[in-house]
């Protein structure tokens, strides 16, 4: 069991909110006593040279924390009138998100601050020196560093042991269930595979979508079936050291669910947004998603939802109480910005502001994410509290499998979902192809 992650999730239900004290430097010269040298303080913000910064993140569109994030940027520019911030956003569910980030980072168009994934996704630009290790900056700013829960910084480390991304909020993922639909159809909550398949057969026969997920953007379906089938230890190892046959069971489980009528009839053509709409509109009884999705659902669906660990697939190695979660993203500081004397100090101050306890509290309250600071998250629906409780009781909390394999490998895993469930490819073939892709990308 990952006790540090469990501790993080459980204590947050008991933590009390504190606000970080913010002080602006004075704007006038301090009068000198007779015989003393006058003390010159920092000039007021409006007298400073103009600074333009670009912040690229996922906090836009329909994101639940969009307004809270924009408010945080507005707070900073209000206190620093010389600063102009371009709030550049794109949905993380859009496949073009990763492409844009990698293109920008490899073409000299790095944003000054980048909100992006931690782990395998970031290895390319981290290893290329495109972003700055934050260890020394954190150590030099004790108030900022101490505002984080220690586990949050620990979980934000890359393989080399350095912290490149300052975390904001974490997450949990799970099997979200509309309790009202289950009750109306006389079904037990899907706490094990038998109850899940019973629900799928019953709901499908009544024309209700049992489990709303897409095939192409099958991120969460893959994450949860692999963790359930392979268990946390094998999932964490990825594919570079060989193939665990339990990974194949994940794809066999997907096919079983497909054959029982689990998925939307248009699962081959819809994306995550549309599959989420089916659940939000009460057309589907279940979906697999993360904590960030809750804020985007209709009030009725949100009020009638709970969240559970994905059950162990047949003969799988998971415990049935393993979940996906952690601190999988954070703010990176561009090396080119850090080396720019005209931008460096302002960018660091903005980074500190965006990951301060006060901002973290507002973002977490908006999106239901696990806060990276000791703050009280307020105004959450019961389903979000159910998610925190689920995480606190979990046997293990694992980062998503797409942080354990290369992007190309995960793309290969995604591409195999539809042919496997339709019987055009075997589970063994799917994992063997993914293994070849992983080997090719690790050379």
Does 34 have pLDDT greater than 70? no
pLDDT digits (tens, 9 = 90+) for 234-268: 999 999 889 999 999 999 999 999 999 999 999 99
Residues of the chain with pLDDT > 90, as a percent, come to 75
Phi, psi (5° rounding) for residue 289? -150, -175
- pLDDT category at 46 given cuts 50, 70, 90 is very low
Q: Look at residue 4 in the predicted model and tell me its pLDDT.
A: 38
- What pLDDT score was predicted for residue 3? 37
Q: What is the mean pLDDT of residues 321-338?
A: 95
Region 351-355: what's the mean pLDDT?
98
Q: What is the pLDDT of residues 127-184, one digit of tens each?
A: 999 999 999 999 999 999 999 988 889 889 998 999 999 999 989 999 999 999 999 9
Q: What dotted CATH number matches 171-324+383-441?
A: 3.40.190.10
Fold agreement (49-170+326-381, 171-324+383-441): yes
Examine the pLDDT at 32 and tell me if it is beyond 50: no
H helices present in 264-338, as ranges: 272-280, 299-303, 335-338
346 to 75, 237, 352: CA distances (angstroms): 14, 40, 10
* Residues whose CB falls within 8 Å of the CB of residue 119, separated by 6 or more in sequence, listed in order: 158, 328, 399, 403, 404
Query: Token digits for 29?
Result: 């010269």
- Residue 93 pLDDT > 80, yes or no? no
C-alpha angle 243-248-254 in degrees, rounded to nearest 5: 150
pLDDT tier for residue 62 given thresholds of 50, 70 and 90:
confident
Please state the domain extents for the chain.
49-170+326-381, 171-324+383-441
Mean pLDDT, range 373-379, rounded to an integer: 87
State the SS3 of 88-153.
EECCCCCCHHHHHHHHHHHCCCCCCEEEEECCHHHHHHHHCCCECCCHHHHHHCHHHHHCECHHHH
Architecture of domain 49-170+326-381: 3-Layer(aba) Sandwich (3.40)
Provide the pLDDT for residue 15.
33
pLDDT score of 296 = 87
What pLDDT score does 159 carry? 87
> Tell me, what's the pLDDT at 292?
86
Higher pLDDT, 46 or 326: 326
Q: Where are the alpha helices (DSSP H) in 213-298?
A: 219-237, 245-259, 272-280
Q: Is the dihedral of CA 7, 8, 14, 20 positive or negative?
A: positive
| Band of pLDDT at residue 79, cut at 50, 70 and 90 | very high
CA neighbor of 117 nearest in space, from 401, 341, 359: 401
pLDDT at 36: 40
- Taking Cα atoms as reference points, which of 2, 389, 355, 379 lies closest to residue 149? 355
What is the model's pLDDT at position 376?
Answer: 86
Q: What is the pLDDT of residue 431?
A: 98
Instruction: Provide Rg for the chain, Cα atoms.
Output: 23
Terminal-residue alpha carbon distance, the chain: 32
CB 385 within 8 A of CB 402: no
Give residue 320's region: left, alpha or beta (phi > 0; psi -120 to 50).
left
Averaged over 73-87, what is the pLDDT? Answer: 98
* Between residues 102 and 39, the one the model is more confident about: 102
């Amino acid at each position: 069991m990952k006790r540090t992650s469990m501790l993080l999730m459980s204590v947050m239900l008991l933590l009390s909110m504190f606000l970080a004290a913010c002080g602006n430097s004075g704007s006038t010269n301090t009068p000198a006593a007779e015989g003393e040298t006058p003390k010159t303080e920092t000039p007021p913000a409006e007298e400073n040279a103009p600074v333009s910064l670009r912040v690229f993140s996922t906090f836009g569109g329909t994101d639940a924390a969009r307004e809270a994030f924009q408010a945080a940027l507005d707070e900073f520019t209000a206190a620093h009138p010389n600063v102009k911030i371009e709030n550049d956003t794109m949905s993380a569910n859009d496949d073009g998100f990763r492409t844009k980030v990698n293109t920008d980072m490899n073409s000299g168009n790095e944003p000054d601050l980048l909100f992006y994934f931690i782990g395998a996704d970031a290895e390319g630009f981290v290893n290329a020196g495109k972003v700055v290790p934050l260890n020394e900056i954190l150590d030099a700013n004790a108030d900022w560093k101490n505002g984080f829960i220690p586990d949050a910084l620990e979980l934000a480390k890359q393989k080399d042991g350095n912290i490149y991304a300052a975390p904001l909020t974490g997450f949990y993922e799970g099997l979200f269930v509309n309790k009202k639909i289950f009750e109306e159809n006389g079904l037990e909550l899907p706490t094990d595979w038998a109850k899940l398949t019973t629900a799928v057969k019953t709901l499908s026969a009544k024309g209700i979508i049992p489990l709303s997920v897409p095939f192409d953007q099958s991120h969460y379906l893959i994450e949860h079936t692999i963790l359930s089938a392979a268990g946390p230890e094998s999932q964490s190892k990825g594919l570079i050291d060989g193939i665990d046959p339990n990974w194949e069971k994940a794809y066999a489980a997907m096919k079983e669910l497909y054959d029982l009528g689990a998925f939307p009839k248009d699962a081959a053509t819809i994306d995550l947004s549309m599959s989420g709409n089916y659940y939000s509109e009460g057309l589907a009884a279940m979906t697999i998603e993360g904590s960030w999705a809750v804020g985007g659902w209709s009030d009725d669906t949100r009020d009638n939802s709970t969240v559970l660990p994905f059950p162990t697939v047949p003969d799988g190695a998971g415990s049935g109480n393993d979940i996906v979660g952690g601190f999988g993203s954070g703010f990176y500081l561009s090396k080119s910005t850090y080396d720019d004397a005209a931008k460096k100090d302002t960018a660091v101050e903005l980074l500190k502001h965006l990951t301060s306890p006060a901002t973290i509290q507002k973002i977490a309250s908006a999106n239901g994410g696990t806060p990276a600071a000791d703050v009280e998250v307020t105004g959450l629906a019961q389903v979000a509290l159910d998610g925190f409780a689920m995480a606190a009781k979990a046997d293990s909390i694992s980062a998503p499998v797409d942080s354990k394999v290369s992007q190309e490998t995960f793309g290969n895993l995604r591409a195999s979902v539809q042919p496997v469930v339709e019987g055009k490819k075997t589970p063994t073939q799917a994992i063997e192809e993914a293994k070849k892709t992983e080997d090719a990308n690790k050379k």
